[in-house]
Amino acid sequence: MDTNLLLSKLPGIGPYFAKRLEKLNLFTVEDLIHHYPFRYDDYSIIKSADNTQIGEVVTLAGEIWSIKNVYTRAGRVLTQAIFNDGTSSIMLTWFNQSYLTKSIKAGDHLQISGKLSKYKNKLSILAPSWEKIISTPTIHTGRLVPVYPETYGISSKFLRSKIHNLLSLALPSIKDFLPDEIRDNMLPLPEALQKIHFPKIMDEVNEARKRLSFDELFLIQLATQKARLIWREKPITKPWKIEKKDLEKFKNSLPFKLTSAQTKVLGEITFDLQTTYPMNRLLQGEVGSGKTIVAAAAIYLAHLNNFSSLFMAPTEILAWQHFETVSKLLEPFGMKVGLYTGSKKSVQADVVIGTHALLSEKLAIKNIGLVIIDEQHRFGVVQRTNLRQRSKTPHFLTMTATPIPRTVALTLYGDLDLSTIDELPKGRPKISTHLVPSAKRKDSYKWIERKVRQGDQVYIITPLIEESETLTSVKAAKKEFEFLKKEIFPNLKLGLLHGKLKAKEKEEVILNFRQGKIQILVSTSVVEVGMDIPNATVMVIEGAERFGLAQLHQLRGRIGRGIKPSFCLLYTSNVSSKDNRRLKYLETTFDGLKLSELDLKIRGSGEIFGTAQHGKWDLKIAQLSDLELIEKTKGVAKDLLEVNPELDKYPKLQSQLQKISANVMPD
Nearer to Mg ion, 402 or 605 (CB): 402
Neighbours of 5 (CB within 10 A): 16
Stretch binding ligand ADP (CB under 6 A), from 27-35, 287-295, 439-447, 643-651 = 287-295
Among residues 285 and 610, whose Cβ is nearest to ligand ADP? 285
Contacted by 351, from ligand ADP, Mg ion, none: CB < 5 to 8 Å by type: none
Q: Please tell me the total number of residues recorded for the chain in this structure.
A: 667
Sorted by sequence, the CB contacts under 8 Å of residue 439 that are 6+ apart come out as none
Helices (H), 331-378: 357-360
Residue 641 and residue 225 in contact, taking contact as beta carbons nearer than 8 Å: yes
Contact 95, 76 (CB under 8 A): yes
The contact pattern for ligand ADP, residues 425-464, with x = CB under 6 A and - = no contact, is: x---------------------------------------
Amino acid in the structure at residue 306: N
How many residues sit close enough to Mg ion to count as binding (CB under 5 A)? 1
Burial of 643 (0-12, 13-18, 19+ CB in 10 A): exposed
SS (H, E, C) 114-170: EEEEEECCEEEEECCEEEECCCCCCCCCCCEEEECCCECCECHHHHHHHHHHHHHHH
Residue 460 contacts residue 542 (beta carbons within 8 Å): yes
Of 1-9, 170-178, 200-208, 282-290, the segment contacting ligand ADP by CB under 6 A is 282-290
**Choice from 62, 114, 142, 290 touching ligand ADP (CB under 6 A):** 290
**Site size toward ligand ADP, by CB under 6 A:** 16
Strands 520-523 and 457-461 turn out to be: parallel
Per rule CB under 6 A, is residue 532 in the interface with ligand ADP? yes
The verdict on 401 binding ligand ADP (CB under 6 A) reads yes
User: Contact 38/172 with Cβ under 8 angstroms?
Assistant: no
Q: Which is nearer to Mg ion, 315 or 523 (CB)?
A: 315
Contact call for residue 369 and Mg ion (CB under 5 A) = no
Q: Which stretch binds ligand ADP (CB under 6 A): 257-265, 271-279, 542-550, 617-625?
A: 257-265
Q: Which span (156-164, 252-260, 362-370, 378-386) binds ligand ADP, by CB under 6 A?
A: 252-260
> Hey, which residues between 596 and 615 contact ligand ADP (CB under 6 A)?
none
Query: Residue 375 CA to chain centroid, in angstroms?
Result: 14
| Pattern 474-513, ligand ADP, x by CB under 6 A | ----------------------------------------
Smaller CB separation from Mg ion, 296 or 575: 296
Q: How far is the CB of 372 from Mg ion (least distance, A)?
A: 11
Q: Which residues are paired to 312 by β-bridges?
A: 354, 373
Could you count the other beta carbons within 10 Å of the beta carbon of residue 555?
22
Cβ closest to Mg ion, residue 204 vs residue 528: 528
Q: To the nearest whole angstrom, how small is the minimum distance from the Cβ of residue 483 to ligand ADP?
A: 31
State which residue, 167 or 510, has the beta carbon closest to ligand ADP.
510
Instruction: Between 7 and 261, name the residue whose CB sits nearer to ligand ADP.
Output: 261
**Which of the listed partners (Mg ion, ligand ADP, none) does 293 bind, with a CB threshold of 5 to 8 Å by partner kind?**
ligand ADP
Residue 256 binds to ligand ADP (criterion: CB under 6 A): yes
Cα–Cα distance for residue pair 256/250, rounded to 1 Å: 11
Say which residues have a Cβ less than 8 Å from residue 225's Cβ, sequence separation at least 6: 414, 415, 634, 637, 638, 641
Closest separation in Å from C-beta 396 to ligand ADP: 17
Give the residue nearest to Mg ion (CB): 530
Q: How far is the CB of 293 from ligand ADP (least distance, A)?
A: 5
Identify residues 292-311 at the interface with ligand ADP (CB under 6 A). Answer: 292-293
Classify each residue of 51-77 as buried b or exposed e, where b means 16 or more C-beta atoms within 10 Å of its C-beta: ebeeeeebbbbbebeebeeeeeeeeeb
Q: Which of 271, 538, 234 has its CA nearest to residue 397? A: 271
Asked if 259 interacts with ligand ADP (CB under 6 A), we say: yes
CA–CA distance, 278 with 274 (Å, rounded to integer): 9
Candidates 287, 387, 622, 647; binder of ligand ADP (CB under 6 A) is 287
Which three-class secondary structure state does DSSP give residue 558? coil
Site string for Mg ion, 500-539 (x = CB under 5 A): ------------------------------x---------
Question: Closer to ligand ADP at the Cβ: 449 or 532?
Answer: 532
Distance of CA 289 to the CA centre of its chain: 23
Binding-site ranges for Mg ion (CB under 5 A): 530
Binding-site ranges for ligand ADP (CB under 6 A): 256, 258-259, 262, 285, 287-293, 401, 425, 530, 532
